[in-house]
Structure 1
Amino acid sequence: MQAYLVGGAVRDRLLGLPVKERDWVVVGETPESMEGMGFKRVGKDFPVFLHPKTHEEYALARTERKVAPGHRGFVVHADPSVTLEEDLRRRDLTINAMAMDAEGRLIDPFGGLKDLQNRVLRHVSEAFVEDPLRVLRVARFAAKLAPLGFKVAPETLALMRQMVAMGEIDALTPERVWQELERALAAPDPAKFFEVLKECGANARLFPEIERLFGVPQPVRWHPEIDTGIHTLMTLTQAARLTPDTQVRFAALTHDLGKGLTPPELWPHHRGHETLGLKPLAELCQRFKIPRAYHRLAEKVMRYHDACHKVEELRPATIVEVLCALDALRDEQGFERFLLASMADALGRKGWEERPYPQAQWWRALRRAALSVTAAPLLAQGLEGSAVGRALRQARIRAVAEAKRRLQAGTG
């Protein structure tokens, strides 16, 4: 059997990156011969098999022919006559169109190694334009490989613009867009994903809620970078620096969507943006079927990130209200995610990247103070029903007030 290691495994091996999974292409075989060797077929649209021992994926070499719009509109041809080079030609980028044989020899018909060395993301052939998903994939690879200095080749960017102009990108399914977005959020430099999409025009088509933030000014006192779109990507960058958690990164990305709806005559101020952004956030999450957990956290961060920054100014009663609204007394993990996203917002400003954020420690101390109050003593006093809830709230306010005094005195 002629089997070749292909795609990301070859690319990442040459870059010295961890190889997470290995995919193989098989030349000269048929589905029947693969099954005869003990391989288990799993592919629905084209012949893919699992190795009987390693369970790695082995796909028969294939070619594709475009017959309909979108990333599903292809007819696949796989038989023993398809060569390795023909299989590699259908791939998106040259750095993903390399293979290795059993002896570790590199097969590189399209100059992938040279582009790897020059840190270039370049399409393999003009057939690149046939699959609109490749626009998102290139942007995602830019986000993944940006720390290594990779950039999109100008001619590839030109093809991506052409694909957007042709409307091909509008045929992408919500599930695939979210899949690429989530993987981009997990990348080392997720902001690069949106920079590339903006440059080719895809951001405006897929994520208009984010695109409309660019060019919207903010008060220079609090935002030296001024532009809300730039601040949004800076916030996403800070979130990526703080945590690998994609829920936090998504909340950081969407926290200021309301500023895109502020009437221009009110610029650079954005009063009420915390609630104004709830509708576009819901529309974004609904459009791409984004999981509810992402939506819930993003909503909390959108509503309360400004309150998080201003904790020293808030009354104890307001602090208790915010803690309850965040469900912070029951969900510590969710509360920590909220603090990380809010911190990313505070640091995602020009020249503010290394500033301390003591507000996070204040909120943790105030949460502990609120948690120290329990209902047991109130029940022992004979209180019942709603009276317990009112008394519990007042006791928590007193505990938070005392904790805040200690924090202000530097003894908390």
Structure 2
Amino acid sequence: MQIYLVGGAVRDELLSRPVIDRDYVVVGASVEQMLSLGYTQVGKDFPVFLHPHSKAEYALARMERKQGQGYGGFICDFSPDITLEQDLYRRDLTINAIAKDENGTLVDPYHGLQDIAQRRLKHVSPAFSEDPLRVLRVARFAARYDYLGFTIAKETQQLMADMVANGELATLTKERIWLEIDKSLSDGCVAIFSDELNKLGALPIVLPMLKHWSIEHAAELAKNIAVLSKQSDNFKLISFSLWLSTCSLSSLDNIEQTLKAPNKYAQSVRDFCQHKALLSDSNLNAQSVLDMLNKLDIWRRPERFDIFCQTASAAQINPVCITQIQQAALHACAIKPQGIISQGFKGSDIKHQLNLARFKALEQSLEA
């Protein structure tokens, strides 16, 4: 039984990047042996185990044989006689097919070290084309490591383009696609991610609302995301809104289902696309601002307004106007229903008088 650190942990160590997850492959072991050592089995399609103390993932070395179309339908062989080289052969890119043994010795049967040195993303074998999710995955790696000078090898890019042309992406579930989108958002490189998919003809399939993607929008997006702090809780949310900020409202209908975007992502981008035009109005008026605040439901959900303003600031849309609206909103939010009720108003009159008072507060603030 031999244990090797594999995949992203080895790759990122070699690239002097932070290592977040450590995955291990176990050669020469059986399911029964792993269980007897106290590991907990979590994999259904193939045996993956959690270490009894560190809870890191340990997978038995395996080979895969494709059956059917798409990313599913693989038959796995995880018998104890599967070698490390056979396990690494099924991986997507050579830079992800490097292993490190318990003594720190690197095992590199497919020349991943050479491709790291040459800053090249290259597939390990023709089996790459059996999983269409790899089109998105490699585009994401190209975006993530662009700052290091990595590019996709021509032969790999051709394989990816062929997979797109053959309709393989249609076999991917929306959930799997969203996971790759979410990871790209975390990286802060969705502009390059989009460019790579666009080169392959995959962008209209993955994100049909971005069918009019342009190099200009990519450059603007990259610049605007760069001003955001990755430590912010709203980094991905704002990045997503900026990414789809050129889309029509109708194209964003029901993206909770069409993209499997979380509700807060879908709402934030629709909020921004619906109301950003107000920020270009050189003559703000109280009624238009009140209408926006009501639609954003700032009275009960102030975070929606905050996200809208943060997105607008990152997009560098009329900062003076944003400040004016934020200050006016503070005055309007200071008007509480209790104050109206204390004046003796009842029923539907409360809402009417509340709107009037908030309108007056906005008007006074905007005219100041």
Report SS of the residue matched to 1:186. helix
Tell me: CA distance 1:163–1:195, structure 2 relative to 1, closer, same or farther (3 Å).
same
What's the counterpart of residue 62 of structure 2?
62
Tell me: CA distance 1:241–1:148, structure 2 relative to 1, closer, same or farther (3 Å).
farther
- 8 Å Cα contact 1:91-1:124 kept in structure 2: yes
1:7-406 correspondence runs (5 A): 7-211=7-211, 213-214=212-213, 230-231=216-217, 234-235=220-221, 237-244=223-230, 245-258=235-248, 277-278=249-250, 280-310=251-281, 312-346=282-316, 357-406=319-368
| Separation of aligned partners in 1, 2:322 and 2:108 | 51
| Separation of aligned partners in 2, 1:209 and 1:380 | 49
- 8 Å Cα contact 2:70-2:168 kept in structure 1: yes
Paired amino acid for 1:242: L
- 8 Å Cα contact 2:5-2:24 kept in structure 1: yes
Alignment root-mean-square deviation, CA? 1.8
| Separation of aligned partners in 2, 1:61 and 1:157 | 28
| Separation of aligned partners in 1, 2:116 and 2:109 | 14
Paired amino acid for 2:137: R
Question: What is the CA distance between 1:253 and its match in structure 2?
Answer: 1.8
Paired amino acid for 1:373: I
| Separation of aligned partners in 2, 1:188 and 1:345 | 15
Report SS of the residue matched to 1:5. strand
- 8 Å Cα contact 1:12-1:18 kept in structure 2: yes
Identify which range, 376-385 or 30-39, moves more after superposition.
Answer: 376-385
Identify which range, 169-178 or 197-206, moves more after superposition.
Answer: 197-206
Report SS of the residue matched to 2:158. helix
- 8 Å Cα contact 1:42-1:48 kept in structure 2: yes
> What do the CA deviations read for 1:214-266 (whole angstroms, capped 9, x no partner)?
4xxxxxxxxxxxx5x632662365135324422222222222222xxxxxxxx
Paired amino acid for 1:256: T
What's the counterpart of residue 410 of structure 1?
none
- 8 Å Cα contact 1:248-1:337 kept in structure 2: yes
Give 5+ residue unaligned stretches, structure 1: 215-226, 259-276, 348-355, 407-412
Identity of aligned residues (%): 39
Paired amino acid for 2:161: R
Number of matched pairs: 364
Report SS of the residue matched to 2:21. coil
| Separation of aligned partners in 2, 1:335 and 1:235 | 21
Question: What is the CA distance between 1:340 and its match in structure 2?
Answer: 2.3
Tell me: CA distance 1:24–1:85, structure 2 relative to 1, closer, same or farther (3 Å).
same
- 8 Å Cα contact 2:195-2:218 kept in structure 1: no
| Separation of aligned partners in 2, 1:395 and 1:283 | 35
TM-score of the pair, normalised by structure 2 = 0.94
Identify which range, 178-187 or 328-337, moves more after superposition.
Answer: 328-337
- 8 Å Cα contact 1:309-1:346 kept in structure 2: no
Paired amino acid for 1:314: L
Report SS of the residue matched to 2:191. helix
- 8 Å Cα contact 1:189-1:237 kept in structure 2: no
Which 4+ stretches in 1 moved above 6 angstroms? none
Question: What is the CA distance between 1:303 and its match in structure 2?
Answer: 0.6
> What do the CA deviations read for 1:35-73 (whole angstroms, capped 9, x no partner)?
111111110000111111111111010011111111112
- 8 Å Cα contact 1:329-1:367 kept in structure 2: no
> What do the CA deviations read for 1:11-43 (whole angstroms, capped 9, x no partner)?
111111111110000000110111111111110
Question: What is the CA distance between 1:331 and its match in structure 2?
Answer: 2.4
Paired amino acid for 1:376: Q
Report SS of the residue matched to 1:242. coil
